[in-house]
Amino acid sequence: MIKITGTAGPILSVNAAIMARDVTKAFGQGETALKALDNVSCEIRTGEFFTLLGPSGCGKTTLLRLIAGFEMPTAGQILIDGQDVTGQPPNRRAVNTVFQSYALFPHLSVAENVGFGLKMQGRPRAEIAATVREMLALVKLEALAGRRTGQLSGGQQQRVALARALAPRPKVLLLDEPLSALDLKLRKEMQVELKRLQTETGITFVFVTHDQEEALTMSDRIAVMSAGKIQQIGVPREIYTAPVNRFVADFIGETNFIPATAVPGGAKLADGTVLPAEGEGSLLIIRPEQLRLLPAAADGALPATVESVVYFGTDTHVHLALEDGTKLTARVPSPADGHSGHAPGQRIGLGFAPGAARLIRE
């Protein structure tokens, strides 16, 4: 049998809470097998808020379940706090999970739910009671300690699930789309709440979401995943401003793509214009808010034609076409009276904010 080999894992660093080394997970066997994770390596640092971001089916849950121990990897290793835990059952791993469905025990009270992990570990009663009180205070649910979980609202259940997972003081807390079942307002509240909990407890959070805004606002670092692979790992600003490929650029925010070739000092477009741009590759990207709409004759501007104008309230989207037919979208703040002053068919010049354009690989 051929062993699946991959690139060497990242250098082991002292402060890695979690390390995944060349992890592959296949469901099914033989030719029909589906690789939910394909040779994934990453390192999650102690104390950070780490987010797995990607479209549905890209393998986020699978990676989380491998870390928790609900699934075993087809190849590769999982390390928690420097210890190889591959093959260990979940009840021996010092990580806890907040489930997407919460998975609260319906036959137990709120307090019993929160104390469950400690009880299973065989901690003394007094300690359990104290920790439960502390945890309920942390999530502001002291008043509901005796309730059955079935009588709680969605937001309250969410807090119980959090308290329950935090109570045994895990090294890492795994959260699988914990906010997706909440309505928008509650969701915003819980985002703040989660961030606060993470700062207060200092526990490493691994957070799964497919909401890019959530990822950008909450995370210390983000791993963008697609089709079972990690595409890019970085701090939010880096992911947004310097995506490494088309997938990341397209998935995070909106982007204009212009075919180009790298030349010294910038990128050459099809019509020969050379724009200053960093990076390398054959695709020039520029965010819609970085485009400037100038008069047609403006100095150094790229000639373009307005195709349509869509009013969005705070800003207005202007859809444009370059001479060679490349379509672009510009986002400009809407003026006070709402009229942007642009109309379909109008010829204009396109300007670029300095450093806004970037070359990336396909």
Ligand X SMILES: Nc1ncnc2c1ncn2[C@@H]1O[C@H](COP(=O)(O)OP(=O)(O)OP(=O)(O)O)[C@@H](O)[C@H]1O
The answer to the question of residue 154 lying near another protein (CB under 8 A) is no
Size of the site for ligand X (CB under 6 A): 12
Give the integer Cα–Cα distance in Å for 284 and 286: 7
Residue 257, SS3 per DSSP: strand
The answer to the question of residue 62 lying near Mg ion (CB under 5 A) is no
Give the integer Cα–Cα distance in Å for 287 and 352: 10
The answer to the question of residue 8 lying near another protein (CB under 8 A) is no
CB closer to Mg ion out of 99 and 257: 99
To which H or E segment does residue 323 belong? none
Give the integer Cα–Cα distance in Å for 304 and 327: 9
Tokens of 262: 């790298």
The answer to the question of residue 58 lying near ligand X (CB under 6 A) is yes
Site for another protein in 50-79 (CB under 8 A): 68-75
CB closer to another protein out of 86 and 156: 86
The answer to the question of residue 1 lying near another protein (CB under 8 A) is yes
The answer to the question of residue 4 lying near another protein (CB under 8 A) is yes
The answer to the question of residue 57 lying near ligand X (CB under 6 A) is yes
Tokens of 320: 């444009």
Q: Which of 107, 126, 183, 264 binds another protein (CB under 8 A)?
A: 107
Q: Which stretch binds Mg ion (CB under 5 A): 9-17, 58-66, 132-140, 150-158?
A: 58-66
The answer to the question of residue 331 lying near another protein (CB under 8 A) is no
Give the integer Cα–Cα distance in Å for 142 and 84: 38
Q: Which of 39, 41, 61, 219 binds ligand X (CB under 6 A)?
A: 61
Burial class (CB in 10 A: 0-12, 13-18, 19+), 137: exposed
Give the integer Cα–Cα distance in Å for 251 and 55: 8
The answer to the question of residue 26 lying near another protein (CB under 8 A) is yes
Tokens of 311: 């009013």
* Whether 225 contacts 231, CB under 8 Å: yes
Q: Which of 39, 61, 219, 231 binds Mg ion (CB under 5 A)?
A: 61
Q: Which of 13, 15, 83, 101 binds another protein (CB under 8 A)?
A: 101
Give the integer Cα–Cα distance in Å for 285 and 30: 40
* Whether 282 contacts 362, CB under 8 Å: yes
User: Which parts of this chain interact with another protein (CB under 8 A)?
Assistant: 1-2, 4, 24, 26, 29-31, 33, 35, 38, 68-75, 86-87, 89-92, 95-97, 99, 101, 103-107, 116-117, 119-121, 164-165, 168
